[in-house]
């Protein structure tokens, strides 16, 4: 296992290098001139050229990329063109609000998603199954921005129970986490139902029932443990998507997270911040996949990595 982990961690380096090339090229293809935005609308062309030289944007792309990678190897993410603050500080200030929003969203999504999936699988073709799958399809189909606006209208404007935005109190997490986790809960429910129905057909499940084990023990202790393998894979990927892709929800709820920071940075053509965020999202997916592989061995001891 240790050898496998070290090999996977060393494999992160070339992957991030390839990602950095695509990220660098993508960012520089964004329309607009960041030097003009930094200099201001009233700046002369001479001032714009001076700013472009100060930012290093007058050099060829290959030279800019080498300088970018060189700073990365030194742990320097650069300086924000918009705020003139270190990019690391900008991301650090926004990371925890997004992280905790993702954690709360995943927590209730896993609980309700698994519960709906198990009930639907054990009550197949009954009203519980139809109701659960109807809710799952609705959760996947509803656009997050529409769901967020409806929750704000009902629970904030009409009932006054929760704030419309911000993360000052625990109440501020309720509506954004419900909005962000709705689609994830629906996907988990469908995956859990499908996987569990396949496991319930296995011979060892029939043997357990023949020995007189209670149905709850058969389902929750024996069947669900093996059915969790594909669910864990999907859940890990969904966690990565939420951590790096909550842009719409953060915009709707005025959430001070990485999603809002990315939107603001793209609007201002803040190259260093955009590049750093996209690389961070790529690193998150790589590490989450590694954690998922480790959980495989925990959930099923027959799985070993050499």
**Which pLDDT belongs to residue 167?**
77
Q: Is residue 201 packed enough to be buried (19+ CB in 10 Å), middle (13-18) or exposed (0-12)?
A: exposed
CA 181 to chain centre: 11
Cβ 298 vs Cβ 35: under 8 Å: no
**Which pLDDT belongs to residue 264?**
84
Cβ 291 vs Cβ 236: under 8 Å: yes
The Cα–Cα gap between 292 and 91 comes to 25
Q: What is the pLDDT of residues 261-288, one digit of tens each?
A: 888 888 878 888 888 888 888 888 788 8
Cβ 260 vs Cβ 94: under 8 Å: yes
Who contacts 33 (Cβ-Cβ below 8 Å, separation ≥6)? 48, 269
**Which pLDDT belongs to residue 304?**
56
The Cα–Cα gap between 201 and 206 comes to 7
Who contacts 49 (Cβ-Cβ below 8 Å, separation ≥6)? 35, 58
pLDDT in tens, the chain (306 residues): 667 677 767 777 788 888 888 888 887 777 777 777 777 777 777 877 887 787 777 788 888 888 888 888 888 888 888 888 888 888 888 888 888 988 899 898 889 988 898 888 888 888 888 888 888 888 788 888 888 889 999 998 888 888 887 777 888 889 999 988 888 888 888 888 888 888 888 777 777 778 777 877 777 777 777 777 778 777 877 787 777 667 888 888 888 888 888 888 888 788 888 888 888 888 887 888 777 777 766 666 555 555
**Which pLDDT belongs to residue 245?**
60
**Which pLDDT belongs to residue 30?**
75
3-state SS class at 79: strand
Who contacts 195 (Cβ-Cβ below 8 Å, separation ≥6)? 227, 228, 229, 230, 231
Q: How far are the Cα atoms of 128, 268, 280 from residue 27, in angstroms, in the given order?
A: 48, 12, 15
**Which pLDDT belongs to residue 213?**
75
Q: What's the CATH fold of domain 98-299?
A: MetI-like fold (1.10.3720)
């Amino acid at each position: 296992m240790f050898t496998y982990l070290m090999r996977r961690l060393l494999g992160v380096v070339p992957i991030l290098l390839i990602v950095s090339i695509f990220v660098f090229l993508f960012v520089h293809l964004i329309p607009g001139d960041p030097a003009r935005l930094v200099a201001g609308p009233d700046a002369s062309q001479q001032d714009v050229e001076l700013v472009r030289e100060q930012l290093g944007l007058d050099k060829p792309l290959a030279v800019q990329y080498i300088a970018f990678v060189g700073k990365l190897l030194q742990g320097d993410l650069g300086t924000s063109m918009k705020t003139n603050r270190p990019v690391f500080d900008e991301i650090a200030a926004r990371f925890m609000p997004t992280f905790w929003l993702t954690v709360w969203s995943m927590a209730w999504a896993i609980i309700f998603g698994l519960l709906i999936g198990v009930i639907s699988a054990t009550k197949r073709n009954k009203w519980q199954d139809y109701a659960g799958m109807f809710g799952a399809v609705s959760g996947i189909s509803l656009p997050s921005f529409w769901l967020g606006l409806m929750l704000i209208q009902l629970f904030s404007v009409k009932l006054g129970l929760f704030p419309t935005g911000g993360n000052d109190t625990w109440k501020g997490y309720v509506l954004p986490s419900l909005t962000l986790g709705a689609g994830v809960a629906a996907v988990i429910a469908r995956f859990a139902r499908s996987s569990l129905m396949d496991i319930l057909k296995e011979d060892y499940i029939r043997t357990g029932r023949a020995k007189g084990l209670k149905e709850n023990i058969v389902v929750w202790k024996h069947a669900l443990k093996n059915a969790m393998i594909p669910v864990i894979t999907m859940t890990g990927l969904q966690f990565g998507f939420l951590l790096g892709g909550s842009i719409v929800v953060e915009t709707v709820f005025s959430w001070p997270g990485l999603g809002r920071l990315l939107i603001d940075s793209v609007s201002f053509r803040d190259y260093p911040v955009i590049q750093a965020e996209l690389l961070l999202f790529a690193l998150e997916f790589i590490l989450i996949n590694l954690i998922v592989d480790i959980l495989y061995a925990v959930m099923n001891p027959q799985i070993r990595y050499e």
